[in-house]
Amino acid sequence: MTRPPGGIWRVVREIALLAVLFGVYNLGRFLSAEHTGSAYKHADELIRWENWLGLPSEAAVQQQALRVHGLADLANVFYASVHFPLTALVLLWLMIRRPVEYGKARWALASLTGLALIGHMFFPLAPPRMMPGWVDTGVLLGQSVYGASTDSGVANQFAAMPSLHVGWAFMVAVFLIRATRSRWRWLWMAHPLLTFTVVVVTANHYWLDGLVAITLALPLLLLFDARRVRIPADVSQLDQRLPAVASSSSARTR
């Protein structure tokens, strides 16, 4: 039996690493499970901060969106189905096609997730959908990705600050803009803008959740873009090896 090329094994290892990263992030749910009281207190404080800053009311934005037929349904679907799959696909594409950029992207994304985990542990925050004045569109339309109560489900429901939905979306857009040369590549900035809108319309995040995530992401992107990241040879050559492996397999089957 022929052993798969080293590049393929590297892909498997990287996917396993990302799975571990996701598992560590989800530990936040258990670490913050006993902070229900402080999560609601922090939510009240954050709403006051937003009022002081003059930010528009998320509740008013949501009410306007709910008047558009089918918009909340689309927002719920986007919130539930785009965040993780698109991020994973972009990382996989970078790993195969742009290994140098992948090395930077991996560590930038991991660092942002680590900082977010610290924020979720030390500043548990009840999302808008749990506060008076907002509508939980997931529950309302039967599309909720969370459990029936705050301590059920697989996600940390008090992990609102900062918003990894917005932070990851912003990083994904920057990764793709840096890694491609098409004149249309700047349209990828629509992804974080759309994500930001969706998390507000679905009442899963406040404005400050997303703004803080972007503020944390910016220096990390600059740091890892300037840093020389060592890329193993098996990854850097994966783009060339995959067609050869495919051709070899095809020849054996004929």
Backbone angles phi, psi at 109, to 5 degrees: -65, -40
- Asked whether residue 191 is domain-assigned, the answer is yes
- Asked whether residue 149 is domain-assigned, the answer is yes
- Asked whether residue 99 is domain-assigned, the answer is yes
- Asked whether residue 1 is domain-assigned, the answer is no
Residue 121 burial by CB count (10 A; 0-12/13-18/19+): exposed, middle or buried? middle
Strands (E), the chain: none
pLDDT given for residue 76 in this prediction: 93
Both tokens of 65, joined, read 């969106």
Give CA–CA dist 53/150, Å, rounded.
29
Range of the domain at 216: 6-244
- Asked whether residue 161 is domain-assigned, the answer is yes
Give CA–CA dist 49/13, Å, rounded.
43
pLDDT given for residue 201 in this prediction: 96
Question: Is the Cβ–Cβ distance between 216 and 162 less than 8 Å?
Answer: yes
Question: Is the Cβ–Cβ distance between 73 and 141 less than 8 Å?
Answer: yes
Our count of domains for the chain comes to: 1
Give CA–CA dist 86/71, Å, rounded.
21
User: Which DSSP symbol is given to 55?
Assistant: P
- Asked whether residue 250 is domain-assigned, the answer is no
Spell out a b/e string for 77-86, using b for 16 or more CB atoms within 10 Å of the CB, else e. ebbbebbeee
Q: What is the pLDDT along the chain (254 residues), one digit of tens a residue?
A: 444 455 677 777 777 777 776 776 666 556 655 566 789 999 999 999 999 999 999 999 999 999 999 999 999 999 999 998 999 899 989 988 998 899 899 889 989 988 988 888 889 999 999 999 999 998 888 877 775 555 545 466 788 899 999 999 999 999 999 999 999 999 999 999 999 999 999 999 999 999 999 999 999 999 988 765 454 444 444 444 444 444 444 444 44
pLDDT given for residue 57 in this prediction: 94
CA proximity to 112, closest of 123, 124, 104: 104
Helix (H) or strand (E) holding 26: helix 6-31
- Asked whether residue 176 is domain-assigned, the answer is yes
Give CA–CA dist 90/156, Å, rounded.
24
pLDDT given for residue 228 in this prediction: 54
Q: Go through the chain and tell me how many residues it has.
A: 254
- Asked whether residue 85 is domain-assigned, the answer is yes
